[in-house]
Structure 1
């Protein structure tokens, strides 16, 4: 038997809008790259997504990170948690490129030691030269395999192959290689505001980790009442 559509879906009138940004809830990552003089740059970005063992990154064309990756492809992708948003925001006010100082909407300040300025510590990597951000619960050592421009020519699109993953052991499902979803909350950049995750609502049928909390209770109830229909 077909169910009637939800009435709310038939009564909403949408408006055509032209927003200045489209950051509709994406994770923040911190990128560590190597400068020409052997020092390291640390920069926050909010355009990152993973496909298999590749992470795709969106960068400004004229930043230090893009220039570094074009010449030296090794990098670290560190994922901060919600409580670290203030340190991420401090990084957003800095630039590692002297020529970019005073430019952009923030009038960025040149800072050669961004780790210290943001209150982070550098942690030695295992397979690449750039260091990890010690305070970040998840860190990905990687290598850029492709650096190009986006369709409009305004940004750089970087495809980075992940070489090694580091995770805080408190995030792992005991005895497995899996991150416990209920234990990990990424820092989310949502229309230039910072958020964390809320309670779990449900889980995918292909998930290899069980649901937790209210979602687990709902799943148990569905099984008890007949399972898949």
Structure 2
């Protein structure tokens, strides 16, 4: 039997990306995001307008979408509640966000030069997509959100993930970090407690035997 629970969020399960961009002063910014999808050589990223990443994409018109594997969940979670914007809203403060000017350092990740854009790649990510912004679409239903349409200019893939003699990623070898309703999953299993779920006060359980909070 179906019920109508009035869901507050619709994050049924999407890959996590680390969006790297350049701040106005030329320093790098890094932001976890799980509102992204691809079609052909294009992608769409959903961002809140108050984020430093949205500001950077609008100004610079480029970014890198770095796809972490599930094994990188520690690094991702370390910056889940950080922002590159020094001005934090009351809501973000209440959820535990903090200003962090050095996201790469805080995550323990390495900036790597890109080939077609100025924004750096994340060296540890097995898949890196250098992108340019081709359009920004304001959400009609929520004026605080923007959908950025990007075109992938260059794709970097860890050699071990490429099927020999092809131009295809091995779907059995690639284990992306997935976020479902603010929880981290890899290989179908919960892989790490989520700071984001704590900050957003999401009801959740980390195993089938654990009670919902």
Interval containing the TM-score (normalised by the shorter chain): 0.7 to 0.9
| SS of match in other structure, 2:2 | coil
Q: Is the 8 A contact 1:101 1:109 kept in 2?
A: no
Give the aligned CA root-mean-square deviation in angstroms.
1.5
Cross-structure match for 1:174: 164
Q: Displacement of 1:75 after TM fit?
A: 0.5
Q: How many aligned positions are there? A: 187
More helix, by proportion: 1
TM-score (norm 2): 0.84
- Segments of structure 2 that go 5 or more residues without pairing to the other structure are 190-213
Match of 1:158 in 2: 148
Q: Which residue of 2 aligns with 1:107?
A: 96
Bigger Cα displacement from structure 2, 136-145 vs 81-90:
81-90
C-alpha separation between the residues in 1 aligned to 2:8 and 2:117? 37
Cross-structure match for 1:122: 111
Check if 1:185 corresponds to 2:185: no
Tell me which stretches of 4 or more aligned residues in structure 1 moved more than 6 Å.
none
Within a 5 Å distance, the mapping from 1:1-229 to structure 2 comes to 13-100=1-88, 103-104=91-92, 105-152=94-141, 153-198=143-188
Secondary structure, counterpart of 1:189 in structure 2: strand
2:197 alignment counterpart = none
- Aligned to 1:194, what secondary structure does the other structure show? strand
Separation of aligned partners in 2, 1:66 and 1:176: 35
For 1:130 and 1:71, the matched residues in 2 are separated by 12
More off after superposition, 96-105 vs 175-184: 96-105
User: What is the Cα deviation at residue 175 of structure 1?
Assistant: 1.4
Q: 1:82-139, CA deviations, whole angstroms, 9 ceiling, x for partnerless residues?
A: 1111211111111101012765153311111100101110011001001001110000
Say which SS state the counterpart of residue 177 (structure 1) adopts.
coil
Point out which structure has higher relative CO (alpha carbons under 8 A, 6+ apart). 2
Q: Deviations over 1:132-172 (max 9, x none)?
A: 01110000000011112112123110000000000000000
Is the 1:91–1:114 contact (alpha carbons within 8 Å) kept by the matching residues of 2? Answer: yes
